Amino acid sequence: MQIYLPIAEVSVNAFLLLGLGGIVGLLSGLFGVGGGFLITPLLFFIGIPPSVAVATGANQVVASSVSGVLAQFKRKAVDVPMGVVLLLGGILGSALGIWVFNRLTKLGQIDLVVQLAYVLFLGSIGLLMLQEAVRAIRRARRPGARAHVKRHQHNWVHKLPLKMKFRASGLYISVIPPALVGMAVGVLAAIMGVGGGFIMVPAMIYLLGMPTKVVIGTSLFQILFVSAFTTLMHAITNQSVDVMLALLLIIGGVIGAQVGSQLGGRLKAEQLRILLALLVIAVAAKLGLDLLIRPAELFSLFAGARG
Amino acid sequence: MIRLLALLALLFALPAEAGPEEVVAGLSRDNIGITAAFNGSEVLIYGAVKRDAPEPGGAPLAVIVTLEGPAHPVTVRRKSRAFGIWVNTDKVRVAAAPSYYAVATTGPVAEILSPETDVTQRITVPLAVRAFAGPIEVTDARPFTEALLRIREEEGVYSLDEGAVRLVEDTLFRADFRLPANLTEGDYKTRIFLLRDGKVVDRYQTAIYVRRVGLERWLYILSRQHAAIYGAMSLALAVFAGWAAAALFRLIRS
């Protein structure tokens, strides 16, 4: 069934969009990532104009994270104070990121920077996560050996001022590191047009030392508000949110998110991390190859006066 | 009303210095509404050759019909290899390229249309793309315009169909166009050329109005004129859908 999208000005198969939303929602529920890093390139691929894809992707992320956050709240897996600190950093970072984005657009190399950022960040995070998860599984398989938890390591992070108790995470740390993590994610999220969960989840585990059980809920909490902010900004400044496209992606996405969070409760944390790592590496590898291999068509068209 | 306007347009379109042969033409539809279920549209352009005198001998009669969508500026970028990766390095800005351009003829263009007439009337596909915008930054702009035509032809929005116009008894003709699903809103210029010996004997011009209708139109206008409300609506929809799905699944589980 074909459907004409009023803002994107293209006609697309409705079931394709439902399926796409479903896959992304599934990942969102499973891993606590918004799925923006997947939905935006996938929308490009089916012929949605890039500006519409980025803005509408943000709207879809709102829906799937609401769904996911509610499911996580039920399981008491959201650290609200931590989420708020990350969010404040995130909004600041997002504003900074939009400024950087506009500078790069003026220089005419935004596409390249976005692609390189994807390859660099997705690639290195994916490899790190894979290595870590494989090591954890090996440790678990060796009988007698016990995984040593490094979480309560004392280093310079613990000497910073403005300490705060994060009960759900079982942490007593300064608010500066989480605010900085939120801000860094905000900058990258604005430049790369994604929610940023794939960067935030490992940062929360490895940098802040948060327990895996609250990481997903808390990152979804932050992503929900940052992507709502982004959607509104895109709708007002670029008029590039396609509500018809969003609706189809959302219907698929919310169902996927629920199924994903059910599945996530049953899978082991290490298995989840290996799956997410493989997915992230696959996307990075695809984008990296696109840069290295001579494209079949050297020319590309951009409608509109700018660009 | 629209029919009346079309009729008026038809009357005014008749050239003052009417020659021995004139085109009288009509469209199967002069406006196309883009609804949510819009999946392309068929347009039939038909007409007849009106003569005051018997048909002149010599060169055979030929008909060319063109259909042209609204034009927009386009930037054509070329990738080349730098530091081992493929990046956009050069660009050419085209001031106006139609979003859709289809040419249908009674026979091979090379036989029925002289190059001079083609240039003055801008009939064939390459001539539909207008001049460059701003200073040209590359030494040879031709590969860029060729790429523009090639990519749009592959997408099916630019086409030349030789022999698609059927001419019966040198008097009646018809041409069928299939407009694609990803149509841009605007006026689609329709031109009919009557040719003999490569030269235009008579021409006729009209337009097909392509507009969004119903929900599509309402959403589009809301997004442009009340962007904040539109944005808030999109968000509310997303939040509601997310909550509803969570509530529904909770219900199913319990």
CB distance from B193 to chain A under 8 Å? Answer: no
Distance from CA of A288 to the nearest CA of B (A): 9
Give the bridge partners for B61, in sequence order: B196
How would residue A198 be classed by pLDDT, with cut points 50, 70 and 90?
confident
- Model pLDDT, residue B135: 66
Which position has the higher pLDDT, A95 or B41? B41
Contact A284, A56 (CB under 8 A): no
CB distance from A113 to chain B under 8 Å? Answer: no
Please state, in angstroms and rounded to a whole number, the distance separating the CA atoms of residues A59 and B238: 7
Q: Full-prediction pTM beyond 0.90? A: no
Please state, in angstroms and rounded to a whole number, the distance separating the CA atoms of residues B236 and B242: 10
Distance from CA of A261 to the nearest CA of B (A): 10
Contact A197, A31 (CB under 8 A): yes
- Model pLDDT, residue B4: 58
Least CB–CB distance from B219: residue in A9, A244, A250: A244
CB distance from B156 to chain A under 8 Å? Answer: no
Distance from CA of B110 to the nearest CA of A (A): 29
The letter for the amino acid at B208 is I
- Model pLDDT, residue B15: 47
Q: Residue A33: helix, strand or coil by DSSP? A: coil
Contact B208, A218 (CB under 8 A): no
Least CB–CB distance from B220: residue in A1, A6, A65: A6
Average pLDDT, chain A: 80
Phi, psi of B169 (to 5 degrees): 55, 30
Question: Do A239 and B223 make contact, defined as CB atoms within 8 angstroms?
Answer: yes
* Averaged pLDDT, A176-196: 81
CB contacts under 8 A, A 38-57 vs B, are: 47
Please state, in angstroms and rounded to a whole number, the distance separating the CA atoms of residues A284 and A305: 31
Q: Which of A18-27, A192-201, B14-23 bottoms out in mean pLDDT, i.e. has the lowest?
A: B14-23
Kindly state the greatest CA–CA separation across chain B: 87
Is residue B1's pLDDT more than 60?
Answer: no
Q: How far apart, in Å, do the first and last CA atoms of chain B sit?
A: 60
CB distance from A298 to chain B under 8 Å? Answer: yes
Spatial CA neighbour of B43 closest among B70, B71, B68, B13 = B68
Is residue B2's pLDDT more than 70?
Answer: no
Question: Do B235 and A64 make contact, defined as CB atoms within 8 angstroms?
Answer: no
Spatial CA neighbour of B27 closest among B13, B48, B47, B8 = B47
Question: Do B37 and A257 make contact, defined as CB atoms within 8 angstroms?
Answer: no
How would residue B236 be classed by pLDDT, with cut points 50, 70 and 90?
very high
In terms of Cβ atoms closer than 10 Å to its own Cβ (0-12, 13-18, 19+), residue A166 is: buried
- Model pLDDT, residue A147: 46
CB distance from B229 to chain A under 8 Å? Answer: no
Is residue A143's pLDDT more than 70?
Answer: no
* Averaged pLDDT, A69-90: 87
- Model pLDDT, residue B53: 77
Contact A17, A249 (CB under 8 A): yes
* Averaged pLDDT, A255-274: 78
Distance from CA of A2 to the nearest CA of B (A): 6
How would residue B7 be classed by pLDDT, with cut points 50, 70 and 90?
low
Phi, psi of B196 (to 5 degrees): -140, 130
Strand B61-68 and strand B101-105: the pairing is: antiparallel
Per CB-CB distance under 8 Å, the chain A contacts of B246 are: 66-67, 70-71, 254, 258
Question: Do B242 and A243 make contact, defined as CB atoms within 8 angstroms?
Answer: no
Q: Which of A26-35, A91-100, B75-84, B158-167 bottoms out in mean pLDDT, i.e. has the lowest?
A: A26-35
Is residue A269's pLDDT more than 90?
Answer: no
CB distance from A112 to chain B under 8 Å? Answer: yes
Find which of A34-48, A254-268, B81-95 is predicted with most confidence, using mean pLDDT.
Answer: B81-95
How would residue A306 be classed by pLDDT, with cut points 50, 70 and 90?
very low
Spatial CA neighbour of B27 closest among B46, B40, B8 = B46
- Model pLDDT, residue B37: 82
Neighbours of A246 (CB within 10 A): 30
Question: Do B238 and A59 make contact, defined as CB atoms within 8 angstroms?
Answer: yes
Q: Residue A160: helix, strand or coil by DSSP? A: coil
Per CB-CB distance under 8 Å, the chain B contacts of A6 are: 36, 212, 215-217, 219-220, 223
- Model pLDDT, residue A165: 82
Q: By CA distance, what is A259's nearest residue in B?
A: B249
How would residue B16 be classed by pLDDT, with cut points 50, 70 and 90?
very low
Spatial CA neighbour of B220 closest among A239, A57, A54 = A239
Question: Do B245 and A10 make contact, defined as CB atoms within 8 angstroms?
Answer: no
Is residue A45's pLDDT more than 50?
Answer: yes
Spatial CA neighbour of A200 closest among A213, A214, A184 = A184
Per CB-CB distance under 8 Å, the chain B contacts of A62 are: 235, 238-239, 242
Spatial CA neighbour of A192 closest among A120, A281, A279 = A120
Contact A106, A100 (CB under 8 A): no
Distance from CA of A10 to the nearest CA of B (A): 4
Please state, in angstroms and rounded to a whole number, the distance separating the CA atoms of residues B122 and B195: 14
Per CB-CB distance under 8 Å, the chain A contacts of B219 are: 6-7, 243-244
Contact A60, A253 (CB under 8 A): yes
How would residue B5 be classed by pLDDT, with cut points 50, 70 and 90?
low
Q: Can you tell me the ipTM of this complex?
A: 0.76
- Model pLDDT, residue B105: 93
Which position has the higher pLDDT, A39 or A307? A39
CB distance from B92 to chain A under 8 Å? Answer: no
Contact B191, B66 (CB under 8 A): yes
Spatial CA neighbour of B158 closest among B181, B186, B125, B183 = B125
CB contacts under 8 A, A 245-274 vs B, are: 246-247, 250-251, 254-255, 257-258, 262
CB distance from A231 to chain B under 8 Å? Answer: yes
* Averaged pLDDT, A70-95: 87
Average pLDDT, chain B: 85
For chain A, give the percent of residues with pLDDT over 70: 89
Question: Do B237 and A241 make contact, defined as CB atoms within 8 angstroms?
Answer: no
What count of Cα atoms within 13 Å lies in the side-chain half-sphere of residue A49?
A: 18
Which position has the higher pLDDT, A168 or B74? B74
Contact A42, A20 (CB under 8 A): yes
- Model pLDDT, residue B3: 59
Is residue B8's pLDDT more than 60?
Answer: no
Please state, in angstroms and rounded to a whole number, the distance separating the CA atoms of residues A198 and A7: 29
How would residue A307 be classed by pLDDT, with cut points 50, 70 and 90?
very low
Find which of A30-39, B88-97, B124-133, B191-200 is predicted with most confidence, using mean pLDDT.
Answer: B191-200
How would residue A305 be classed by pLDDT, with cut points 50, 70 and 90?
very low
Please spell the DSSP secondary structure of chain B, one letter per residue.
-HHHHHHHHHHHHS-SS--SEEEEEEES-SEEEE-TT---EEEEEEEEEEESSPPP-SSPEEEEEEEEPPEEEEEEEEEEEETTEEEEEEEEEEEEEES-EEEEESS-HHHH--HHHHHHHT-SHHHHS-PBPS---SS--HHHHHHHHHHHHHHTSEEEEET-SEEETTTEEEEEEEE-SSPPSEEEEEEEEEEETTEEEEEEEEEEEEEE-HHHHHHHHHHHHSHHHHHHHHHHHHHHHHHHHHHHHHHHH-
